[in-house]
Amino acid sequence: MEVTPIMDPETLNRFLETDFPQLHTDGKVFEVMAVGPGTVTLRLTPNERHLRPGGTISGPTLFALADVGAWCAVLAHIGPVALAVTTNLNINFLRKPAPGPLSCTCRLLKLGKRLAVVDASIFDAGGEELVAHATATYSIPPR
């Protein structure tokens, strides 16, 4: 979907810090890296809390990365609407990620007046191995 973003990475990161400060309770682990037409790329730098026995990043952390990334993709294209909320998120865990940085590339599939649908792909630090894939739907409040 070719749609022009109205928020850049700096603006999105500032919005996360001011309107969603609980996201960074344990330090800044989520960072918007890039915004493009219909896309956003987010980086997760996990800390000890995000790790599980066996040398991997937890499933709930991967879920959160997909959700935050998809939410940022929606906001980047509609503006700072904090009350856009997740109505559905389906995730498939494909392989065990090593305990290190991950990237999540999100792509808008549909951006309507009331609903947005986003595709989220989570990659390992090198960006070569797809470790999880999600689709998410967000409800956009009336403006």
CATH numbers and ranges of domains, the chain: 9-139 (3.10.129.10)
| pLDDT over 80 (residue 102) | yes
What's the whole-model pTM score? Answer: 0.94
For residues 23-30, give the mean pLDDT. 85
Compute how many other C-beta atoms are within 10 angstroms of the C-beta atom of residue 16: 21
Q: Which residues contact 54 (CB under 8 A, 6 or more apart)?
A: 96
How does the average pLDDT of the chain come out, rounded? Answer: 93
Of 105, 99, 83, 108, nearest to 46 by C-alpha is: 99
- Measured CA to CA, the distance from residue 28 to residue 39 in angstroms comes to 22
State the average pLDDT over residues 8-14. 96
How much is the pLDDT for 1?
A: 67
Give the torsion through C-alpha atoms of 22, 23, 28, 29, to 10 deg: 150
Amino acid identity of 125? Answer: A
